[in-house]
Amino acid sequence: MAMAAAEIEAMIVAALPGAAVTITDLAGDGDHYAAHVIAPQFEGMGRVAQHKAVYAALGGRMGGVLHALQLTTAVPT
């Protein structure tokens, strides 16, 4: 069972209010996505911590319903 891009975006924004999220389906199969997340909550966090925050927002769906997510994270400028 695949996840819709809109569902991924909604989960990230719910966990990181004010985040700007862009989701791209890399393979057209609903299982392989790229996410670009810009969030004020990332201020002062290292890249690994930023990625962990996004994975936490997905509530354990990584590796199950969501097979692959290529992440790019940043702090707003």
8 Å CB contact between 62 and 27: no
Domain containing residue 24: CATH number: 3.30.300.90
- Positive or negative, the CA dihedral 26, 28, 29, 35 is positive
pTM score, two decimals? 0.91
Number of structural domains the chain divides into = 1
Quick one: average pLDDT of 56-62?
89
pLDDT score, position 31:
81
Q: Residue 53: enclosing H or E segment and its boundaries?
A: helix 47-57
Quick one: average pLDDT of 54-66?
87
pLDDT score, position 62:
83
Determine the structural domain holding residue 59 and report its residue range: 5-74
- Which residues is 37 bridged to in the sheet? 21, 73
pLDDT tens profile 12-52: 999 999 999 999 999 888 888 999 999 999 999 999 999 99
> Is residue 65 very low, low, confident or very high in pLDDT (cuts 50, 70, 90)?
confident
